[in-house]
Homo-oligomer: A and B are copies of this chain.
Amino acid sequence: MKRIAIIGLGLIGGSVAKAVRRNSDIDIIGWNRSRESLTEALHQNIINGIWDKKSVLEADLVLLATPPAATIDFLKENASYFKPGTVITDVCGVKTSIVKECEPICKENGLYFLGGHPMAGKEKGGFLNSDESLFEGASYIITPTEQTKKIAIERVTKLAKIIGAREISVTTPEEHDRIIAFTSQLPHVLAGAYVKSPACLERKGFSAGSFMDVSRVATADEKLWTELFSLNAENLCAEIDTLIKNLAAYRDAIKNNDSKTLAALINEGCEIKTRDN
């Protein structure tokens, strides 16, 4: 790969750009809806140039690092400006709906799409918070389908390695969404639900690590996460219901002063957590 294009220079796009810049000689062409991050990235020598939108862009790989709806809209509007044969990938936290929409648009335009999801983030977004080490040791999920070209897998895998990912996880878009509802989306719902207890406003002087841990991602961007939750509604609602059921089991054991059941619940949690950790 000699040149990649990164569309969207927020936390994820900016961090990929910075990692590629530091770890390789690949040229980076950037584009961003607002001009500020673009000129900042150019000024910091993170990107080599700005895409003059609606001119033909030649790149080996285009990384769409925008929220789900913006990713689909961008492709609809701009797919005809990418040179046929270009590999296109995205970074969205949901995959079924993205792949379903993006794959046919790319196919129509002779582009090769592969859904991707680098598993790292921060509770604060934007280019300002982007970090060349964000993906070091992280998992990079790709979701090929029967239509996926080998070259798309090769180039996205290469990018993942360049930015420092520890492993490439290959799965279907549907499996991705089912498991991510538990590992990523549920903790975000949880953080927000947790801090809504009235006691949260009295926490000063009464909190330690476990409060910080559970509440950390409560500051997540409302627009992005509203989209992500909505696009994975069925899986996420099922996970919320499972959690409510499991919380109720603790509550009932505590309420009934049933120490034996309570100890068994705690022990079971410990056993699951330490398995394959």
Residues of B within 8 A of A223 (CB): 263
Residues of B within 8 A of A246 (CB): 192-194, 196-197
Interface residues of A in 205-243 (CB under 8 A from B): 205-211, 213-220, 222-223, 225-226, 229-230, 233, 236-237, 239-243
Q: Can you list, as one digit per residue, whether each of A238-277 has a CB less than 8 Å from chain B (1) or not (0)?
A: 0111111011111100110101001101111110111110
A270 engages B240 (CB within 8 Å): no
Q: Indicate if A110 sits at the interface (CB-CB under 8 A).
A: no
Which one of A19-27, A72-80, A97-105, A174-182 contacts B? A174-182
Q: Indicate if A169 sits at the interface (CB-CB under 8 A).
A: yes
Closest to A140 in B: B205
Closest to A182 in B: B199
Q: Indicate if A18 sits at the interface (CB-CB under 8 A).
A: no
Closest to A168 in B: B205
Chain B CB count within 10 A is highest, among A181, A197, A262, A269, for A269
Complex Cα distance A100/B229, Å? 47
Residues of B within 8 A of A214 (CB): 186-187, 190, 213-214
A215 engages B273 (CB within 8 Å): yes
Closest to A260 in B: B226
Q: Indicate if A203 sits at the interface (CB-CB under 8 A).
A: yes
Complex Cα distance A141/B188, Å? 30
B236 engages A254 (CB within 8 Å): yes
Complex Cα distance A176/B199, Å? 11
The smallest beta-carbon distance between A117 and chain B, in angstroms, is 9
What are some 17 contacts across the A-B interface (CB < 8 A)? Answer: A121-B209, A183-B203, A184-B206, A184-B208, A187-B210, A190-B190, A196-B272, A199-B239, A201-B275, A209-B216, A213-B214, A219-B274, A223-B263, A230-B262, A237-B255, A244-B248, A244-B251
Chain A to chain B: the 7 pairs with minimum beta-carbon distance, closest first: A192-B269, A169-B205, A182-B199, A187-B210, A193-B246, A218-B273, A213-B213
